Amino acid sequence: MKKNTVMAWTFAAVFACFSCSHNKETTYTPSLEFDIKKAEYLSGFAFSCIDREYPNKLGQVLGDDSYLAPPRELHPAFYGCFDWHSAVHGHWTLVTLLSKFPELPHRKEIIAKLQANITRENIRKEMSFFEDEYNKNFQRTYGWAWLLKLDEALREWDDPAAGDLQQHLEPLAGMIAQKFIDFLDVLMYPIRVGEHPNTAFGMSFAYDYASKYHPALARKIEEKAREYYLEDRNCPLTWEPGGFDFLSPCLQEASLMLKILPKNEYTTWLKAFMPGFEKDPAKYLEPALVTDASDGKLAHLDGLNFSRAWCLFEMGHALNNKKMLKLAESHFQYSFEKMDTEEYMGSHWLASFATYAMTKSHKTPDP
């Protein structure tokens, strides 16, 4: 599967037209269509990397010489895409795109890769890594959250292949869910950074899974979200972004609390948490600029644009706030136009963030 540079330029032209013709809130209509062309384009990034072993950043603790082994032996399910968590959300990307677009090109080849990686034996070995005394907190909580999202996506994928894959993954998901509960029980203070350890991000993604499939974890997240964040005021948006951020501490918290609080309580909380933001969000945020896409840390800022976009989509739809939705689109389009590069430091993970943002771009119908 090859990157489609022509398609990227086509998308750029479409988005340029959007910017010219939708500069007033009163004429705003959603322009981001999650169609088969975008799905094929995004799937190519994940398809090419979930079984690409090197380069690889392991991030493990060594207990002795026996811990030194190739990624494919240490993590036979999730050894690709540069690091463990990116491999996990690369699998999530492919499952999500197949679920939304059953006619996705290369469907059989994608499913074959998923089935080769997510086997019962491979998942047992992944679990044994998390049972190791030196690595019991491996990937806490960022990778944990994506693993639960993958389990959620497999449960909701209406395809014959999904059942076996989910059954193979389920024991690891159950282990991670319990680890999440245990961690929240001892975490006195939330972690508010713009990178992997951000507590609000991990809780938000885990809650998507837990609210449907793990009541004990859902209750714990509801309890701790109120404990950590209910009294927060005046989130310092002017401090964002940090140079290596791929998450917005303020927006991730706002996204989590949107899921936890009743709407009336949420709107009151949001006014105190980010005063003035609902009225004029573009006053506080603009797309982050990436100066060197080959630098993995600096490339994080493209991810920030996508993660801001999904939070703004969630909030904008829930609050019927067109300004938030316009700001979400401007963040998304800025980084989407630049995805088709040869820089692996971004391409190994950004498609997952773009895919998730696209899933939030249109309001989910009420049940």
For the ranges 93-107, 269-283, 352-366, the lowest mean pLDDT is seen at: 352-366
Residue-wise pLDDT for 143-164, tens only, equals 999 999 999 999 999 999 999 9
* pLDDT at 24 exceeding the cut of 70: no
Confidence of residue 11 (pLDDT cuts 50, 70, 90): very low
* pLDDT at 13 exceeding the cut of 90: no
What is the dihedral angle through the alpha carbons of 182, 71, 293, 330, rounded to the nearest 10 degrees? Answer: -40
pTM of the shown model:
0.91
Mean of per-residue pLDDT scores for the chain: 92
Contacts of 28 (CB under 8 A, 6+ apart): 22, 322, 325, 326
* pLDDT at 26 exceeding the cut of 90: no
* pLDDT at 25 exceeding the cut of 50: no
Q: Kindly state the average pLDDT of the residues 270-295.
A: 97
Comparing CA positions, the residue from 175, 62, 83, 70 lying closest to residue 127 is 175
CA distance readout (Å), 273 to 249, 267, 285, 318: 12, 10, 15, 17
Sequence letter at residue 193: V
Q: What's the pLDDT score for residue 31?
A: 77
Residue-wise pLDDT for 39-88, tens only, equals 999 999 999 999 999 999 999 999 999 999 999 999 999 999 999 999 99
Q: What's the pLDDT score for residue 32?
A: 86
Q: Kindly state the average pLDDT of the residues 93-111.
A: 98
Q: Kindly state the average pLDDT of the residues 301-324.
A: 98
Residue 39 sits at the vertex; the CA angle it makes with 364 and 336, to the nearest 5 degrees, is 90
End-to-end CA, the chain: 38
* pLDDT at 280 exceeding the cut of 60: yes
* pLDDT at 19 exceeding the cut of 90: no
Concatenated DSSP letters of 151-203: HHHHHT--SHHHHHHHHHHHHHHHHHHHHHHHHHHH--S----SSTT-HHHHH
Confidence of residue 366 (pLDDT cuts 50, 70, 90): low
107 three-state secondary structure: helix
Q: What's the pLDDT score for residue 179?
A: 98
Q: How many CB atoms lie within 10 A of CB 12?
A: 15
Question: How far apart (Å, rounded) are the C-alpha atoms in residues 56 and 322?
Answer: 41
Residue-wise pLDDT for 201-238, tens only, equals 999 999 999 999 999 999 999 999 999 999 999 999 99
Cβ atoms of residues 250 and 198 within 8 Å: no
Residue 254 sits at the vertex; the CA angle it makes with 212 and 97, to the nearest 5 degrees, is 50
* Domains within the chain, CATH numbers bracketed: 5-359 (1.50.10)
Comparing CA positions, the residue from 179, 38, 11, 169 lying closest to residue 92 is 169
